[in-house]
Amino acid sequence: MAAGTEEAALGYEQARDELIEVVRRLEAGGTSLEESLALWERGEELAKVCRRRLEGARARLDASLAAERAAEDAEEASGGEE
């Protein structure tokens, strides 16, 4: 459960930066199999955090755009009746 709390506390930029570091370490090699697997698992967790944050941002953007379109449509409808 602590991992879920930690993930929730990570912002997109922080998770992305840590993911970049994980990838750099994996690409550099020189780690044991056990350490490589741990890095891979951490990378997967960080990628999920990034994906969730981006999906959340996209949902907020879509909602904002929909509200703006609805307001414009309502304005046009009321303007057309007068």
**Straight-line distance from the first to the last Cα atom of the chain, in angstroms, rounded to the nearest whole number:** 59
**In the predicted model, is pLDDT for residue 82 greater than 60?**
no
Percent of the chain past pLDDT 90, that is, above it, reads 73
pLDDT at residue 66 tops 70: yes
With a cut of 50, say whether residue 34 has pLDDT above it: yes
**pLDDT (0 to 100) of residue 1:** 42
Q: What is the pLDDT of residues 43-64, one digit of tens each?
A: 999 999 999 999 999 999 999 9
| Both structure tokens of 80 | 């057309």
Model confidence at 65: pLDDT above 50: yes
